[in-house]
Amino acid sequence: QAVGYDLMIEEETAQGDTLEDLQRKKYESLRKRTIWAIALSLPLVVLGMFFMEMPYVNYILWALATPVVFILGRQFFVGAWKQAKHRSSNMDTLVALSTGTAYLFSVFNTLFSDYWTSRGLEAHVYFEASAVVIAFILLGKLLEARAKNNTSSAIKQLIGLQPKTVTVIN
């Protein structure tokens, strides 16, 4: 479990229903997080693309991106931490590093924009990039989970077509 895997041992056939219930609940949770991530990312993209000159837009972007990165994308940071403790990396590491860096750089540029303007540069923020990356990856995980569920239900239907009795002809 420390690495990020769960072990489920079936003791009786009723446990199979419990496993299906767990998978369904996990899928519904992923679905809700994906919908929220997309819903919060769309205004981020619109504001980041068309209204960057609006006063206090960086603070609005910050407020919209924070729940996407740290609540809806929490699993990536937790997974990356578990991998780091074992001196390993996976996709969670990449997502956490990229979105975390974009988010922290944007926070710095929002709070200390004078650092860049005093050097003749503009302080750009990338809040929308961090949120959209998380939304897209959650969408990909949702599509993958749906495909796995469809495949496993099709296999169960095929198993159900097996005959219960066999006649041996000599």
pTM: 0.78
| CA neighbor of 129 nearest in space, from 73, 78, 65, 70 | 65
- Where does the pLDDT of residue 15 fall: very low under 50, low under 70, confident under 90, or very high at 90 and above? low
Q: Contact 104/127 with Cβ under 8 angstroms?
A: no
Q: For residues 105-122, give the mean pLDDT.
A: 92
Q: What is the pLDDT of residue 133?
A: 96
Whole-number Å distance between alpha carbons of 38 and 31 = 11
- Where does the pLDDT of residue 154 fall: very low under 50, low under 70, confident under 90, or very high at 90 and above? confident
Of 93 and 8, the structure prediction assigns the larger pLDDT to 93
pLDDT for residue 96 is more than 90: yes
Q: What is the pLDDT of residue 9?
A: 60
Q: For residues 121-128, give the mean pLDDT.
A: 91
Q: What is the pLDDT of residue 33?
A: 95
What sign does the dihedral 144-30-36-43 (CA atoms) show? negative
Q: What is the pLDDT of residue 151?
A: 80
- Where does the pLDDT of residue 99 fall: very low under 50, low under 70, confident under 90, or very high at 90 and above? very high
pLDDT for residue 153 is more than 80: no
Q: What is the DSSP letter of 162?
A: S
- The 10s digit of each residue's pLDDT in 22-59 is 888 889 999 999 999 999 999 999 998 898 888 899 99
